[in-house]
Structure 1
Amino acid sequence: MESVISEHIEITPGVCSGKPRIAGHRIRVQDIAIWHERLGFSPDEIVSQYPSITLADVYAALAYYHDHLEEIRQQILEDEEFAKQLQAQTHSLLLQKLGNRDVRED
């Protein structure tokens, strides 16, 4: 089975931070996992949104995800933490124009 998955999934240092991705694309395995598990997209729906990948690519990504569950989930958590840190450090120009009023609490 690994040889079939390797036709669809690749890891290249310097591309997508070296994270597993659909071969020839910048769509990461973790992206497919999030779209499928968190957003509830079926494999067919994912392909309809990204027609440059195949249904086999999506299923290979899901198989890879389940074979490397803890590793991929850790990568997702790390990316979410990084996004939160960036958000906390980034000041909104809109908020500054509104007089620094924190509209996120409204």
Structure 2
Amino acid sequence: MTFSITLEPVPLELHPDGVVRVGGTRVTLDTVVAAFNQGATAEEITSQYPSLQLADVYSAIAFYLRRQEEVEQYLQQRQHHAQEIRHQNEHRFDPEGVRDRLLARRR
């Protein structure tokens, strides 16, 4: 019997919008890392996100653990970008009085 060890590619894809997704799904690396950091196991993560394969979640977690500093920088950039977009949206669409404006439209 011969046993061969082959390298498996990391199941992460960097999309043109700058978001890293896991296992060819729409689930982001951010989501998997956040769940892992909150104490979820790989099995629990796949239970929460059925489109993920268990092996892909383990690979994503291993990638994170091996490159924690890089991934944390990526996560900080994503968070900063999300805050910028939130700020732009709040500037464009003032959240004050939304309920009153919606009720006025209804009348």
TM-score (norm 1): 0.69
Moved more, 88-97 or 72-81: 88-97
Match of 2:7? 3
Q: CA RMSD in A?
A: 2.7
C-alpha distance 82-9 of structure 1, shift in aligned 2 (>3 A)? same
Match of 1:32? 32
Contact 1:9-1:22 at 8 Å conserved across structures: yes
Q: What is the letter of the counterpart of residue 3 of structure 1? A: L
- For 1:59 and 1:53, locate their aligned partners in 2 and report how far apart those are by CA, in whole Å: 10
Contact 1:47-1:55 at 8 Å conserved across structures: yes
TM-score (norm 2): 0.68
Contact 2:29-2:60 at 8 Å conserved across structures: yes
Contact 2:19-2:28 at 8 Å conserved across structures: no
Q: Once the two structures are superposed, what CA deviation does each residue of 1:23-77 show, in whole Å capped at 9, x if it has no partner?
A: 322323332111110x332211111111121221111100011111111100110
- For 2:94 and 2:61, locate their aligned partners in 1 and report how far apart those are by CA, in whole Å: 39
C-alpha distance 2-81 of structure 1, shift in aligned 2 (>3 A)? farther
Query: Identity of aligned pairs, percent?
Result: 26
- Following TM superposition, by how much is the alpha carbon of 1:96 offset from its aligned partner in structure 2, in angstroms? 3.4
Whose helix proportion is higher, 1 or 2? Answer: 1
Contact 2:46-2:53 at 8 Å conserved across structures: yes
Q: Which runs of 5+ in 2 are unaligned?
A: 101-107
Match of 2:98? 97
Aligned residues: 94
Q: Which runs of 5+ in 1 are unaligned?
A: 100-106
Match of 2:23? 23
SS at structure 2 position matched to 1:26 = coil
